[in-house]
Amino acid sequence: MKEIDLLNVSSNSYQEARQKLDAELEARNPNYSLPQALYNDPLMFRADMDEIFLKEWLFVGMTSEIPTKGDYFTVEIGQNPVLVVRDAEGGVQAYHNVCRHRGSVICTEHRGKVANLVCPYHQWTYDLKGNLLYAGSEMGDAFNMKEHGLKKAHTKTAGGFIFVCLGKNEPESDFDEFLETLNEYMEPYNVENTKLAVESHMYEKANWKLVIENNRECYHCAGSHPELLNTLLEWDDTNDPRAPQDFLDHYAAQAAAWNAEGIPHEHKSFGPGKRNRIVRMPLKKGVEVMTLDGQKGCEKLLGRIQNRQLGSMRILHLPNSWNHMQSDHFIVFRVLPISAQETMVTTKWFVHKDAVEGVDYDPARLRLVWDATNEQDRILGEQNQKGINSVGYQPGPYSETYEFGVVNFLTWYSETVRKNLKKK
């Protein structure tokens, strides 16, 4: 009896938290930061996981990380281990990395190559399509192999990007329109001809929304990012309200060169709060890429690119990715929540697949600027979280001219959570 009561209490309090989340989002001032609980309460976090990370499309990695049959990488979406693998037909598949025997994790490494997927516990073996091939001889006559294949996650790829969705159904949205644009804008890069040069995994003691909010504004850049500002222009877009005339002139000259080369650059955005957006922005005058001195990061240019001054094509995918695609390397960023006040930020640098480490590129040089920037942002995020946890915290106003990207993010977050909460 006691146990049943306890269960009811916990499920009731989650229901109450969900109702409170809906009410807080309805009542919020869209130009102010969120109420405290939405940044630090474990039940609110559980609702974020259920309504966003277990229902929406998430960026997980690039197709060139798993170029041939049996190449895989693993990713943790909250408490859900997921496996992304190249199958025998060249397709990209995502499965719950959970054995259908007694639930052990199957692939325990971060990345690797396998012929089949073999569970380390009792060696149940699955093919790359998730079919169970082998379960020993001790499972009894009634055991049906066909009913014990791996559970699939929805997968979509475009322009070399891999997205997964753990929901029962794919979310209905204009996602495919964004994917078409992603294909078109990524064409010059020929992602299949790239390789991972280096990656970093940064653990941050802050709510995932603070990580994204921080990335959506450059109000903090001048005070915190000296390395990044050697090369990055802080305007977020060609129609950024703060953009001065000399930036617009610089942009016009770059855009003319890009047009002549057939390099897509115009801003396109999709969904509420510009949930998915792509725009190519010039870097500072004379700069090639985001290295410390702004000069080349790799001898070999990517794909069909010939112009070293391609600026950076910024790709945003809410809830969990921003990216910088440049002429000789590109950088992808993935944000995955761990708990209400913990987040993992993964950064990966890609170069041409024929580029030779130590000859054509130096991973230490490639990563330097964004290692420094990530670390600076981690500290800002953690300090932000600490202050928000205080009884002294009260939601504060966003600047319309500097922080419109944050307002856009929270618009998407709020609309999506409220829409998904209603579905149950």
Cα angle, residue 172 at apex, residues 169 and 176 outer, rounded to 5°: 110
Q: Which C-beta is closer to Fe ion: that of 51 or that of 377?
A: 377
No. of helices (H) and no. of strands (E), the chain: 9, 17
Residue 218 interaction partner, one of ligand FES, ligand 3BY, Fe ion, none, beta carbon < 5-8 Å per kind: ligand 3BY
Stretches 22-30, 91-99, 214-222, 278-286: which one binds ligand 3BY (CB under 6 A)?
214-222
Q: Which C-beta is closer to ligand 3BY: that of 115 or that of 222?
A: 222
Residue 104 interaction partner, one of Fe ion, ligand 3BY, ligand FES, none, beta carbon < 5-8 Å per kind: ligand FES
Asked whether position 218 contacts ligand 3BY by CB under 6 A, the answer is yes
Whose structure tokens read 């955005």?
A: 269
Selected binder of ligand FES within 11, 108, 110, 122 (CB under 6 A): 122
Q: Taking the complex as a whole, how short is the minimal distance between the CB of residue 208 and ligand 3BY, in angstroms?
A: 16
Point out which residues pair with 58 in neighbouring strands. 164
Residue 124 interaction partner, one of Fe ion, ligand 3BY, ligand FES, none, beta carbon < 5-8 Å per kind: ligand FES
Under 8 Å between Cβ of 160 and 61: no
Selected binder of ligand 3BY within 37, 105, 221, 344 (CB under 6 A): 221
Q: Which C-beta is closer to ligand FES: that of 104 or that of 339?
A: 104
Selected binder of ligand FES within 21, 25, 82, 119 (CB under 6 A): 119
Residues 349-388 touching Fe ion, rule: CB under 5 A, are 377
Give helix 208-215 / helix 363-388 axis angle, nearest 10°: 120
Q: Which C-beta is closer to Fe ion: that of 271 or that of 319?
A: 319
Q: How many Cβ atoms from other residues are within 10 Å of residue 294's Cβ? A: 19
Under 8 Å between Cβ of 227 and 385: no
Asked whether position 322 contacts ligand 3BY by CB under 6 A, the answer is yes
**HSE of 148 in the Cβ direction (CA atoms, 13 Å)?**
17
Residues 147-166 touching ligand 3BY, rule: CB under 6 A, are none
Asked whether position 99 contacts ligand FES by CB under 6 A, the answer is yes
Strands ordered across the beta sheet of 132-134: 117-118, 125-126, 132-134
Under 8 Å between Cβ of 376 and 223: no
319: CB partners within 8 A, 6+ apart: 52, 53, 56, 58, 208, 212, 335, 412, 413
Residues that bind ligand FES (CB under 6 A): 99, 101-102, 104, 119, 121-122, 124
Residues that bind ligand 3BY (CB under 6 A): 215, 218, 221, 232, 322
